[in-house]
Chains A and B, each alone.
Chain A
């Protein structure tokens, strides 16, 4: 048992911190937030320095580290700025499906370009009628010669408006039983004819990230864009969730830590009733509780990441990590705003944004309830 980061991991944390402190400027964040702009320049620099795709194998343009090291970067980036951090770290979203299940040719064609910053990626699973339950997809892919023709729509797709390609989960056999055995994933270039992304303009948080509705109207992709085995799409996506949930958990952890940092700094600065508000024990206790919760979240997130890299893929632990970190982020941000009083409620203030950005971590990549279902079904078994 060893709770220390190793030397390289500590160096990665430091490098990520220095980069984030140097580049993620609060004023810039505010402008991007208001303009709903993706931080393209910062992402490009992050890619050049190897922060994105750190967990891709070296031969595919990555750095050959694990999802643990990726989680460390995600944590540091989101700690410094929930908005810029989230946008940057999500810019390779779903590329892991290619990495884990794709052919060598697919990996070579896409992963190096994602890591280098040329491509932004995304994944389309959610549909207007299928969110938590993706066992059946209305989006279909039908083979036609050496192409597949895709029709349907997806919603809430991160990077939908800026990605170069999306991984799209389609129903390839509507009669399969169970239905999810008739699903497959495809690489869909966003410049394909019949592909349309419509930006969902107003959302609570993640305002520097593009979130879109996707319309696929007779989109033709070459047959070699099928990822892995025909009919295995659902399984791939579930397995992908085992690692993507760790990333989202790390995002939540970073946001929580960032809110805690700001709250502690604020109570030491603000005076009321003739003394610093840090002198009120209630604020000290709040800080202590928040710090404890953040540390608990860190322990489980790190454990889940570490396990994954050891090849022990454990959906229960991953779900626990995501659920814990997400709740921690929301509650710590809530308390951070409380400690800031009225100033915390104002948009000029970073904790306000952290709060809004925190909430998504309890929704996407499986809601909190879905995580509980996953944990419970293993713990208690399935009851109908």
Chain B
């Protein structure tokens, strides 16, 4: 594969990490002599963001239009249509992110570009074979794309490292856009920052995190007691926040908080990648799960395959003993 285009994802005047992860993979795929093309759509005032990109792309196509500051898919699509023919590449990479999930399938459908989503690896050997996960990470799949001039993949955040990007002397091709049309059918209004809760899980050294395996709101105290004994806080996976068993600010993962405690204890959490993204950099990860095949064991340092309702009370008891909080009525 000689030419790969990487969609530069930015929001609130910051380039998002996924962009660098994709640039890294693109370099690896094109190898020497190939070309990595960065695609940037944005407002002229955001041009400064390109400084971080251009050193790592052989070519940067920057489409600048004062209406492209914030993502609006209909307008973005019209802008992309302006340059679509000019972007000479065989593969487009976008992030499997809130942006990519809202944009990529529409682009693929509009231009009938063979595509697949949420890939964690890709091989080019004759055709393109993407590796993606299914069943919440329990099974991986090799997916082939139909032969075509252009293909599209969305890439899972964190699947590829963003370090050690090659530096190349890239040219910048600036295009002054003037996207015309009425795009008010879907209009951006504003961002809403996450609510601040009573407990800031990002500051904690010890996190006891519960997933759907906790089964019910009434069982949260089981985890809370352990957290109290350890001097930590209770956090959760998404379903627990969805069901309002814990407030949303306690959610760890892509759509929740990213945490980096010294110790992260995952109780009854399967370890979907969206969850992993929020906690994989914890110092030590301990997982308790009934299912020995749960993907969480893939990133945990220590695991116990057992019922959390047996392990946790026993562990809490031990920690309390150690602290000399022994149960007086025992």
Contacts and interface: CB of A to CB of B under 8 A. Distances in A.
B171 interface: no
B208 to A, nearest CB: 17
A contacts with B: majority SS: helix
A28 B306 contact: no
Contact of A27 (B216, B306, B307): B216
For the side of the interface on A, what is the size category?
under 10
A269 B218 contact: no
Given A269-B306, A269-B307, A27 B219 contact: yes
Contacts of A25: 215-216, 218-219
A332 B205 CA distance: 48
A28 B290 contact: no
A273 B218 CA distance: 35
Interface in B92-147: none
A11 B120 CA distance: 39
B contacts with A: majority SS: loop
Contacts of A269: 290, 306-307
Nearest to B219: A27
Interface in B266-323: 290, 306-307
Contact of A26 (B215, B290, B306): B215
Nearest to B222: A27
Interface string B206-237: 00000000011011001000000000000000
A130 to B, nearest CB: 42
Interface string B256-274: 0000000000000000000
B218 A28 contact: yes
A113 to B, nearest CB: 30
Nearest to B217: A25
Contacts of B307: 269
A221 B215 CA distance: 48
Contacts of B218: 25, 27-28
Contacts of A26: 215
Contacts of B215: 25-27
Interface in A240-277: 269
B125 to A, nearest CB: 41
A219 B119 CA distance: 76
Interface of A: 25-28, 269
Shortest 10 CB-CB contacts between residues of A and residues of B: A25-B216, A27-B218, A27-B219, A28-B218, A25-B218, A27-B216, A25-B215, A269-B307, A269-B290, A269-B306
15 contacts: A25-B215, A25-B216, A25-B218, A25-B219, A26-B215, A27-B215, A27-B216, A27-B218, A27-B219, A27-B222, A28-B216, A28-B218, A269-B290, A269-B306, A269-B307
